Chain A
Amino acid sequence: MDDVIVDADAELLARLRAGDEEAFLTLVDKYGPLMLRIALTHVRTRAVAEEVVQEAWLGVLQGLSRFEGRSSLKTWILRIVANRARTRGEREARSVPLSSLGPDAGEDEPAVDPDRFMPADHPMYPGGWSIPPHSWARMPEEKLLAAESLQQVRAAIAKLPPRQQEVIVLRDVEGWEPEEVSQALGLTPGNQRVLLHRARSKVRADLEHYFGGVEA
């Protein structure tokens, strides 16, 4: 954790407690995009996500007197917005796929289609690739990061179960450390990793399909 960031947050926090609007807006600018991103993993529309973020800020302001700084401001805010977003998402009564219920649901979700491996009793290569991935190494960077590829990834993430979305957004988009994510989302390190693994595996599979490697 960067000490400078922590100190900056401590100073902003003190000013926020004193009702300083500038401090509030600085925090909104700093953590707003992250909060929206997390809200959008649970609710369907931008408008509802904005409402969730506003509710979360009120939660932050109401909780200010109780915040003891045992977690960082960042993880504390994140926990508040994630909780609000979950509640709101459930209320939206969207059809929730079984696998989103938690890391325990859908235990047997293989990272790669089992049909792409040799059977376990194969005499030479048990469990070896029968349909290996095509190399992306020769693909030009322009193709890898083309607007359509990026859109593909956003769509792949959007259709993941909310819990997996939360983790992949924090880990791979926001670049958080595993421990921070576990703490903010109340996950064990193992569950955090399982959720990230499933999320990345599915997004990779979608990209592979898009890049024209293998039938999904």
Chain B
Amino acid sequence: MTAQGPIIPGGISCRELVELVTAYLDGALDGDTSGRMEAHLRLCPPCTEYVDQIRATARIAAVAAAELELRPDRDSLLAAFQQFKAR
């Protein structure tokens, strides 16, 4: 049996990785960190799941907002515009 040291894929712990997800998805990480993050993700299903859930969250937020009808009151805005022009 060989003695095993700690396992930290890519040299980034899971706890650190979850703080880098937004920067990673925006392509804002430097090349080295981004490469280490990808190395971690290849070996770590829970972190891969976490990144997928952040992506899913963004998508669900978009759908949730789209279903909410938001139209300002045209008539009162038009009245305000006419009043503004008359000044």
Main secondary structure of the interface of A (DSSP, over half): helix
Contact B15 A127, beta carbon cutoff 8 Å: yes
Contact B67 A150, beta carbon cutoff 8 Å: yes
Contact of B49 among A124, A136, A178 (CB under 8 A): A136
| Interface residue ranges of B12-29 to A (CB < 8 Å) | 13-16, 18-19, 21-23, 26, 28
Main secondary structure of the interface of B (DSSP, over half): helix
Instruction: Say yes or no for A67: interface residue by CB 8 A criterion.
Output: no
Given the interface pairs A36-B72, A126-B8, the reply to whether A197 lies near B80 with Cβ below 8 Å is no
Interface size of B as a range: 35 or more
CB contacts (< 8 Å) of A32 on chain B: these are: 70-72, 74, 77
Among A6-14, A72-80, A108-116, the stretch that binds chain B is A108-116
Contact B49 A135, beta carbon cutoff 8 Å: yes
Instruction: Say yes or no for B56: interface residue by CB 8 A criterion.
Output: yes
Instruction: Count residues on chain A whose CB falls below 8 Å from chain B CBs.
Output: 61
| Interface residue ranges of A40-87 to B (CB < 8 Å) | 50, 53-54, 57-58, 61
Instruction: Say yes or no for A105: interface residue by CB 8 A criterion.
Output: no
Q: How many A-B residue pairs have CB under 8 A?
A: 159
Separation of A22 and B51 alpha carbons in the complex (Å)? 45
CB contacts (< 8 Å) of A197 on chain B: these are: 19, 21-23
CB contacts (< 8 Å) of B23 on chain A: these are: 193, 197
Contact A54 B49, beta carbon cutoff 8 Å: no
The chain B residue sitting closest to A171, CB to CB, is B58
Contact B46 A129, beta carbon cutoff 8 Å: yes
Contact A33 B26, beta carbon cutoff 8 Å: no
Contact A127 B13, beta carbon cutoff 8 Å: yes
State the B residues within 8 Å of A (CB). Answer: 4, 6-8, 13-16, 18-19, 21-23, 26, 28, 45-47, 49-50, 52-54, 56-68, 70-74, 76-78, 80-82, 84-85
